[in-house]
Amino acid sequence: MFGLFKKREKHIVEFTDGNWDEEVLQYQGVVLVDIWASWCGPCKLIGPIVEEIADEFAGRAKIGKLNSEYNQKSKELGIRSIPTLLFFKNGKLVNKIVGAQPKNNIIEKIEKYL
C-alpha cells in the first residue's frame, strides 16, 4: 500500500537576495521569477499556476518565487505591483508580466525563450 502514492516532487525554486546572482543572473537558460507577498490576493491565485508550470518545465527552465516581503531584490528591480513575473534568458531580463495571468499566457512566454 505504501508504494501506491508517490510524493510529488516540487521543482519550484525559492529565490532570495542571497542566491539571486547564482540562481538567476548566472543561470544559462530561461528563468521565470514570480514576485509575490503573502498578503497579495492575486499572488495567491497565480502561485499554484506557477508551481504547476515549474513541474511541467522541469529540466527545461528554472522557475521560482521571490517573496517581496523578505527580500530587497524586488525593490532593486523597481517592482511596484505584484504579482510580477520576470522572464530571464542567460541572466538578462527579456520580458515582464504584471498581474495575474492565465497559465497559457505564461507558458507561451517561456516557450518563446527556450
Which residue numbers are catalytic? 40, 43
Sign of CA dihedral 48, 49, 50, 55: positive
Which runs of E-coded beta strand occur in 10-50?
Answer: 12-15, 30-36
Q: How many angstroms separate the CA atoms of 5 and 44, rounded? A: 27
Neighbouring C-beta atoms of residue 62, cutoff 10 Å: 21
Smallest CA-to-CA distance from 98 within 108, 88, 112, 85 is with: 85
**Would strands 62-67 and 30-36 be described as parallel, antiparallel, or unpaired?**
parallel
